[in-house]
Structure 1
């Protein structure tokens, strides 16, 4: 099974105006194959978001290697990083961040158009993705006309618009009530299973984490399997 993501010896620290440095990541290692859904659990402030930003090429580590789909990103140009982000990585956040002036379908069409897909093909894929998560009837609704759970499901579809090999999600159900959270999580798992992508999902919800293929704990700046 091919690797979607490899992190080797990732280190990251921040200077906050005082002597010394706060070390957030201290040699974090991870191999994530396609087809695996992995939970990332840790207390607030432990560095989950930092790890996801580095894995998603939104931030650079102080040391270590980030390999996406077999491509080592060390020393890569901004243009190359943008290309990999657009084509190989999908992002989902706690808040949906849908563009309010566009419909659900249009929000999913936009990243495809940016990657050169025709308008007709982009809309066809948008409608197919929305149908998969039970939102075909909301395709032409703007975010303000949708519930929180519907907005987040649409955000999942947008993240998958360009058929990425890797999905990174930061507390994707953290802003939802338990019932809606379960519905949204089920939709996410369905999309991941059907596409065969890899997913790294940061969550405080231990019940949802237990339903994933593997759980990793970020502790002391390193990643450890929860079952160990």
Structure 2
């Protein structure tokens, strides 16, 4: 049996340690995501889902607990090792696209690959393939300001998958779009994830979108609980 792509064990995180206004955001979170599994994370604003995603993606460290990515224990690893694993094994998508405004769509997808040691021609070819998969290959030479909101987010999806990660983490990836566009863009995202066999943890407020995923969990009072459909 293969190891889970993501395993969180006993994750705890608080802010303002030892102060009267100390906030315990995560209280012993346990989670495993199998290869190819897409999990919906449902939580109200302020519940700690972004903190959980940042810890899972090695952007933040827990006060307690362990984080395994692709079978490797990242607990106590150096920043250099965490950065290497984050660049190669993890892809991030946010509510806002965060594309670099001075670069074209193609360049925004090519740059992460160049930073990971991929040659320019190979990186550009993969970028064009990804843009074609999400239906915006004709926008490759446009900068983000010239793209619609849906197009911007599709390019952001491509950037997240540029380095062929094993784990995708998404924080309200369609939350900044109108309902019709959100539905179309989410369908594009699911097609990309299913097509590549990625594992994914996707935070969303939208219960209809969450129902399309393999499993739904809710973050309540700092702990994860399964959702009953």
TM-score, L = length of structure 1: 0.97
Q: Which residue of 2 aligns with 1:185?
A: 186
Residue 223 of structure 2 is matched in structure 1 by 222
Q: Show the counterpart of 1:24.
A: 25
Q: Which residue is equivalent to 2:166?
A: 165
**What CA distance in whole angstroms lies between the structure 1 residues aligned with 2:149 and 2:87?**
25
Q: In the TM superposition, what whole-angstrom CA distance separates every residue of 1:126-185 from its partner, at most 9, and x where no partner exists? A: 000000000110111111111000000000000000000000000000000011001110
Aligned-partner Cα distance in 2 for 1:91–1:44: 19
* Separation (CA, whole Å) in 2 of partners of 1:166 and 1:133: 19
**Cα deviation, residue 18, structure 1:** 4.4
Q: Secondary structure at the match of 1:3?
A: coil
In structure 2, what is the equivalent of residue 39 of structure 1?
40
Q: CA RMSD in A?
A: 1.2
Matches within 5 A, 1:29-108: 29-108=30-109
Distance across 2 between alignment mates of 1:99 and 1:120: 20
Aligned to 2:214: 213
| 1:2 to partner: Cα distance | 4.0
Cα deviation 1:5-35 (Å, max 9, x = unaligned)? 0000000001189415210000000000121
Distance in 1 (CA, whole Å) between partners of 2:120 and 2:170 is 27
Q: Partners of 2:79 and 2:17 in 1: how far apart? A: 26
Unaligned runs of 5+ in 1: none
Distance in 2 between residues matched to 1:104 and 1:20, nearest whole Å: 44
Segments of structure 2 that go 5 or more residues without pairing to the other structure are none
Instruction: Say which SS state the counterpart of residue 25 (structure 2) adopts.
Output: strand
The secondary structure found in structure 2 opposite 1:51 is: helix
After TM superposition, the runs of 4+ consecutive aligned structure 1 residues lying more than 2 A away are: none
Report the TM-score when normalising by structure 2.
Answer: 0.97
Three-state SS of the structure 2 residue aligned to 1:7 is: strand
